Amino acid sequence: MRNRVAVLGALCAMFCLILAPGEAIESARCGLSLCAELIVPSLLPFFTASALLIRLGVPQTLGRVLAPLARRLWGVSGAGASAFFAGICGGYPLGAQTVAELYAVGQIKKDEAERLLRFCNNSGPSFLVGVIGAGIFSSSAAGLLLYCVHVSSALLVGMLIRRRAPDAAPQPAAEVGIAEALVASVRQAVSAVLGVCGFVVCFCVLAGLLDALGLWSAAAAALSRLFRAEEQDIRALLIGMLELSSGVGVLRGLPPTRGRFVLAAFLSGWGGFSVCFQTMAVLAETDLDARGHLVGRALSAVFSALLAAAVLRFFPVLPAV
């Protein structure tokens, strides 16, 4: 049954490409531009640094420092907690990549790794503060508040799924030279970033084709009448559920209302199906189950929206409409 659905989906995608080749090419061009201007410059250095630090045994040192806090908050090891900090600094999908690397080298066990995937894969400050805050709401303060909301929601998800911390000590990292570690880290980082870029382009093309066929507009118009909401906001929600950057891009140029700030928080917490597939890509060489990641993203989206609605009462950071 699953194969039939997949084949049907692939045939529909091929048919859409034939119907709207120009829109597909333009969408792919936009996706490649996004990769060149944002994804590669922001992710490749972080991916390389994360892989290098893990190979050099840094999580073991961090683990001793972070262990008390990590055990109380999330019931994970200190080494596992380092994935959370990597995720909130580097953005999607660095948190998942770090979890996969820690699991591969034996620093964390499978159960802990799959729990970490639920709250350690998050958006980074460069996207939330720079792209959404300054670019969408014309306010870096709004972006900073959005980032604080995003991190807080991730903390809440981690606390919600908390279990007893693992007792087993992590395996000692093998001694490697800096040259060997750097070469392996760069190769791994380039491979991971290429996979991420591939999914970004594919989902940009998918969103563009649906737009060219009028499906986004029809769905947004119907839902806006049903829920009495702004059609552009519904459109941003629908596209953002699929691909985050394209969704928040719909909000560019619109009045910076409280509702749109909450919407941006929700979409950032969810990350889009594109991020889900990016996460599956970085986990492809492991036996980790990515389904928990979907649960974590859904919880993060809900918590982010609720927190965003609450904090705006105390921090009026949006420019006057």
Task: Kindly report, residue by residue over 175-209, the tens digit of the pLDDT.
Answer: 567 888 888 888 888 887 888 788 888 888 888 88
Q: Compute CA 31 distance to the chain's CA centroid, rounded to the nearest angstrom.
A: 16
Residue 35 inside a domain? The answer is yes
Confidence at residue 80, expressed as pLDDT on a 0 to 100 scale:
85
Q: Give 85's contacts (C-beta < 8 A, 6+ positions apart).
A: none
Specify the pLDDT at position 169: 47
Q: Is residue 229 part of a domain?
A: yes
Report the pLDDT averaged over residues 246-262.
89
What per-residue confidence (pLDDT) applies to 175? 59
Name which of 269, 6, 56, 267 is nearest 152 in CA terms. 269
**pLDDT interval class at 112 (50, 70, 90):** very high
User: How many whole angstroms separate alpha carbon 171 and alpha carbon 163?
Assistant: 21
Nearest to 270 by CA among 226, 234, 300: 300
**Dist CA 142 CA 296 (whole Å):** 24
Q: Tell which residue, 154, 150, 120, 153, has the closest CA to residue 133.
A: 150
Mean pLDDT, rounded, for 264-284: 91
Q: What pLDDT sits at residue 173?
A: 53
- pLDDT, tens only, 14-63: 888 888 888 888 989 988 887 888 778 877 888 888 788 877 877 667 77
What is the number of other CB atoms lying within 10 angstroms of the CB of residue 186? 15
Task: Classify residue 228 by its DSSP letter.
Answer: T
What's the domain range around 125?
24-163+174-311
Q: Is residue 55 part of a domain?
A: yes
Q: Is residue 8 part of a domain?
A: no
Cβ burial, residue 91 (10 Å; 0-12/13-18/19+):
buried
Q: How far is CA 61 from the centre of its chain?
A: 27
CB of 115 closer than 8 Å to CB of 70: no
Number of domains in the chain: 1
pLDDT score of 321? 47
| For residues 111-130, average pLDDT | 90
The sign one gets for the Cα dihedral 84, 87, 93, 98 is negative
More confident residue, 159 or 180: 159
pTM over 0.75: yes
123 lies in a domain? yes
42 falls within a domain: yes
Contact status, residue 256 vs residue 274, Cβ threshold 8 Å: no
Q: Which residue has the higher pLDDT, 182 or 273?
A: 273
Please report whether residue 12 resides in a domain: no
Rounded Cα gap, residues 81 and 262, in angstroms: 28
CB 116 within 8 A of CB 103: no
- Whole-number percent of the chain with pLDDT over 70: 93
**Average model confidence (pLDDT) across the chain:** 85
Least confident residue range of 66-80, 172-186, 260-274: 172-186
- Tell whether the model's pLDDT for residue 270 goes beyond 90: yes
**Domain annotation covers residue 3:** no
In the structure encoding, which two tokens stand for residue 312, read together? 């705006």
- Structure-block tokens of residue 54: 């893990």
Read off the DSSP letter of residue 134.
I
Quick check: 269 pLDDT over 90? yes
